[in-house]
Amino acid sequence: MVDDNKTASLEILASINEALSKDQESQENLRAMFTNKPASLREQKEGQEMRVSHVTKSDGVMVDISTRRPISKELGETILKSVDERMLTEANPLMREMGFRYVNNTIIRESIE
């Protein structure tokens, strides 16, 4: 009986995740939430990525540390994309608390409990 319940739960989870992975609007909403929250984690990861790229923020603008000039749009996008990816792939307490995980560029449920 326990094995039957576990099998049924896994089948339901697989069905939920299949539907969730195909729902682009839900994926976009979840991605927007989990790449920005918690805000303190995002700020920490953004700071780390900027340091690796020798970039800092001055009056809200990303600037090269050595030249103090604004960085290129491309470098800024690369940094922010890396932060987004890290928010989804590294320990994100909100994702864990809500029972989600990021697999193969898709946000899915960890469990149905």
Label residue 2 by pLDDT band (50, 70, 90).
low
Q: How far apart are CA 56 and CA 54, in angstroms?
A: 7
- Out of 6-10, 50-54, 72-76, which region has the weakest mean confidence (pLDDT)? 6-10
pLDDT in tens, 17-64: 999 999 999 999 999 999 999 999 999 999 999 999 999 999 999 999
- Average pLDDT (74-81) is 97
pLDDT more than 90, % of the chain: 86
- Peptide bond just before 93 cis, omega within 30 deg: no
Entry pTM: 0.85
- Average pLDDT (56-73) is 95
